[in-house]
Amino acid sequence: MSSTPPTTGPFATKHDDRPTPRPGFVLDVDRSTPPILFHHGEGFRLEKLPAGRTRVVYGPEPKAGLAHPDAAVEHALDHPLDSEPLSALLFSGMRLTIAFDDASLPLPQMRRPDVRQRVIEAVLDRAAAAGVDDVHLIAALGLHRRMTEAELRHAVGDRVYDAFAPDGNLYNHDAEDPDGIVDLGQTRHGEDVTLSKRVAESDLLVYVNINIVAMDGGWKSTATGLTSYTGLKQHHNAETLQQSRSLMDRHNSELHKSVWRQGEVIKANGPKIFHIETTINTNAFGYDGPLSMLQKREWEWNARDRAKFMGLQAGLKAMSMRARRAAFINWRSPYEMTSVQAGDVDRVHEATLERVLDQHITPVEGQTDIVTFGLPYTSPYSVHSIMNPVVVMCWGLGYMFNFYRGRPVVREGGVIIMTHPTPNEFHPVHHPSYIDFFDEVLRDTTDPVQMQAKYEQRYAEDEWYRHLYRTSYAYHGVHPFYAWYWGAHALQHVGQVIVVGGDPTAVRRLGFRPATTMMDALEMASDTVGPQPTITHMHNPPVVMADVT
């Protein structure tokens, strides 16, 4: 029986009092421009940027969410792209595996119910109708840390967790299980392809994705989330990532090309896949509430917004770092689902990319001498954790730098200025190999190619790191290398990286230069790019991707 209200369709969007979302735009800074908001870890900065030679890139405002997300999910499952409806693929006695994205998505965590929960419940309802008993649910985390019970409950919901976890049928993927990984062959370029044994032996894999940036989804979900080190190192390496221009532009990313080749092998030798992708808007801090001013344009802050910001700053100042982290970690974003599509992996991902880019893209004319980023308190590799210096590098040079299509926002040989406290601190449970990487590898070299040749294999095959990855909540031993390679393209492209407000020791270890203030950083940058450089600030939030012409 239908559970949709008769007067509305599955793709109707919410109609609230909010004005129509505005597209992104580029602001030329003049003397009347107010100070601009920068994330600064577990805090914020307001920076007055030089007039006449600075521009600020704002992303499009959050798109309206779907008014009836459950109805949209049901419609997508029943009317898939290039595939039979899900119900037609399910039968009694089959082996069904449902894989879903791990805790690294979305950022920050979204308010309940998580999009994955909505989709998985709809999938399971159809499986129950078909009488499917053999169902496994796997968190597709690749070499990320295992998800805790609380994180799993948040992602799939209590109903699903309580129905499957007690019997051991809901669990984290284990890339180091010697009996749990199978070899599917090689790509036409000779790249090895491995896959979870349970997935490979299933009659159907249903992958449930949550897509927040253009890098996610498609074959990357299966080929990286459910594989092993052997499969990942084919594309997670310094050479491939130096050629991925950019990571957010799937058709110009060497990493994605390699992953798609692995996808061809999975398609040929692996299980049948029913792929489900969802997109969410950029409403990370809400349209009202204590943090809503963060995603408003500065000149539109009213007296209430300014009061809230000053109160927030004063409150954060009075808090210890531990309390600040706890406060931000507990923030749940009111993201809204903007689309859901299901069926064939390639068709689904193209539809998803269109939606994601529609939400993120802002056209930008020409490159700049200096690009500035404000780095927030969280990243995909520091969920419920500490944003250590290596993750700071990865977030700034791996993610923020790669939010472009066409050409990088900063010219070759230009300067990146980031704001973040970059504490010389590591989460001992989540990041044990990061600690050694920081102390041993970065002390020796910051060159991705060199460290790959000299250190990667030892870290990847270290038994202690392997043990912690499998039994504790630690990232895999090789993961800090991957985090570093993520910034390989930026390291090759820019002449200098400056961190404003960062711990000098940690920043220098990364090979960057510390600066106390933004003005100091701009002064230091002129050593590399000359006097009176042009500056572009990538405003965040909301997330913005520059289409540079």
Partner 1 sequence: MTPPVTRRGPVKDLLGTRATRLLGRSVAGRKVRRRVTSVVRKTQFPLRAPTPPVGIEVRAVKKKTGADYPTEWARTPPARAARAALVETVLRPIVAGLARPDRLNADRLIDLDGPVIFAPNHHSHLDTSLLLTSIPRHLRSEVIVAAAADYFFTNRVTSTLSALTIGAIPIERRKIGRQSADLASDVLDEGWSLLIYPEGGRSKDGWGQPFRGGAAYLAIKANVPVVPVYVAGTRRILRKGSAIPRPSKTTVNFGKPIWPTEGESSRRFAARIEEAVAVLGDEIGGGWYNARLRKHAGLTPGLGGPAVSSWRRSWALGDRGATAARTRPWPNA
Among 158, 177, 440, 461, binds partner 1 (CB under 8 A): 158
Q: Which is nearer to partner 1, 70 or 102 (CB)?
A: 70
Please give the torsion angle defined by the CA atoms of residues 164, 167, 170 and 172, in that order, rounded to the nearest 10 degrees.
160
Among 129, 150, 268, 323, binds partner 1 (CB under 8 A): 129
Among 53, 95, 159, 296, binds partner 1 (CB under 8 A): 159
- Tokens encoding 151: 């994180």
Among 4, 252, 313, 492, binds partner 1 (CB under 8 A): 4
Whether omega for the bond prior to residue 113 falls within 30 degrees of 0, making it cis, is: yes
- Binding segment for partner 1 among 96-104, 158-166, 444-452, 491-499 (CB under 8 A)? 158-166
Q: Where are the beta strands (DSSP E) in 398-488?
A: 404-405, 410-419
Q: Which of residues 323-362 bind partner 1 (CB under 8 A)?
A: none
Q: Which of residues 256-285 bind partner 1 (CB under 8 A)?
A: none
Q: Which is nearer to partner 1, 47 or 70 (CB)?
A: 70
Q: Does 289 bind partner 1 (CB under 8 A)?
A: no
Dihedral-angle region of residue 217 (phi above 0 means left; psi in -120 to 50 means alpha; beta otherwise): left
Angstrom distance (rounded) from CA 427 to CA 145:
12
Q: Which of residues 24-83 bind partner 1 (CB under 8 A)?
A: 68-70
Q: Which is nearer to partner 1, 124 or 491 (CB)?
A: 124
3-class DSSP state for residue 82? coil
What DSSP state is assigned to residue 241?
H
- Binding segment for partner 1 among 156-164, 410-418, 484-492, 517-525 (CB under 8 A)? 156-164
Among 38, 44, 58, 164, binds partner 1 (CB under 8 A): 164
Least Cα distance to 177 among 206, 199, 148, 197 occurs for: 197
Q: Does 113 bind partner 1 (CB under 8 A)?
A: yes
Angstrom distance (rounded) from CA 176 to CA 194:
12
Least Cα distance to 22 among 55, 54, 61 occurs for: 61
Do residues 517 and 379 touch, judged by C-beta distance below 8 A? no
Among 160, 247, 451, 491, binds partner 1 (CB under 8 A): 160
Query: Residue 37: what are its φ and ψ, rounded to 5°?
Result: -75, 130
**CB under 8 Å, gap of 24 or more: what pairs does 450-455 form?**
451/238, 451/481, 451/484, 452/237, 452/238, 452/481, 452/485, 455/481
Q: Minimal distance in Å, beta carbon 246 to partner 1?
A: 36
Q: Which is nearer to partner 1, 36 or 73 (CB)?
A: 73
Q: Does 112 bind partner 1 (CB under 8 A)?
A: yes
Least Cα distance to 451 among 433, 432, 473, 427 occurs for: 433
- Tokens encoding 510: 């990364």
User: What is the amino acid identity at position 106?
Assistant: P
Q: Which is nearer to partner 1, 68 or 233 (CB)?
A: 68
Angstrom distance (rounded) from CA 256 to CA 264:
12
User: What is the amino acid identity at position 414?
Assistant: G
Q: Which is nearer to partner 1, 262 or 278 (CB)?
A: 278
- Binding segment for partner 1 among 51-59, 126-134, 440-448, 457-465 (CB under 8 A)? 126-134
- Binding segment for partner 1 among 3-11, 20-28, 102-110, 220-228 (CB under 8 A)? 3-11
Q: Minimal distance in Å, beta carbon 344 to partner 1?
A: 27
Do residues 221 and 140 touch, judged by C-beta distance below 8 A? yes
Among 99, 119, 135, 223, binds partner 1 (CB under 8 A): 135
Q: Minimal distance in Å, beta carbon 336 to partner 1?
A: 10
Number of residues engaging partner 1 in binding (CB under 8 A): 28
C-beta neighbour count of 436 within 10 angstroms: 18
Among 64, 124, 195, 416, binds partner 1 (CB under 8 A): 124
- Tokens encoding 439: 């102390």
Q: Minimal distance in Å, beta carbon 309 to partner 1?
A: 27
Q: Which is nearer to partner 1, 129 or 326 (CB)?
A: 129
Query: Residue 4: what are its φ and ψ, rounded to 5°?
Result: -95, 145
Q: Token pair 């038994």 is at which residue?
A: 463
Q: Minimal distance in Å, beta carbon 32 to partner 1?
A: 42
Q: Which is nearer to partner 1, 170 or 247 (CB)?
A: 170
What x/- string results for residues 380 through 419 when contact with partner 1 is judged by CB under 8 A?
----------------------------------------
Q: Does 133 bind partner 1 (CB under 8 A)?
A: yes
Least Cα distance to 355 among 344, 345, 340 occurs for: 340
Q: Which is nearer to partner 1, 126 or 537 (CB)?
A: 126
- Binding segment for partner 1 among 121-129, 214-222, 446-454, 474-482 (CB under 8 A)? 121-129
For residue 142, give Cα distances in angstroms to 145, 194, 232, 423: 8, 11, 8, 27
Q: Which is nearer to partner 1, 27 or 115 (CB)?
A: 115
C-beta neighbour count of 377 within 10 angstroms: 23
- Which residues of this chain interact with partner 1, rule CB under 8 A? 1-7, 68-70, 112-113, 117, 124-125, 128-131, 133, 135, 157-160, 162-164
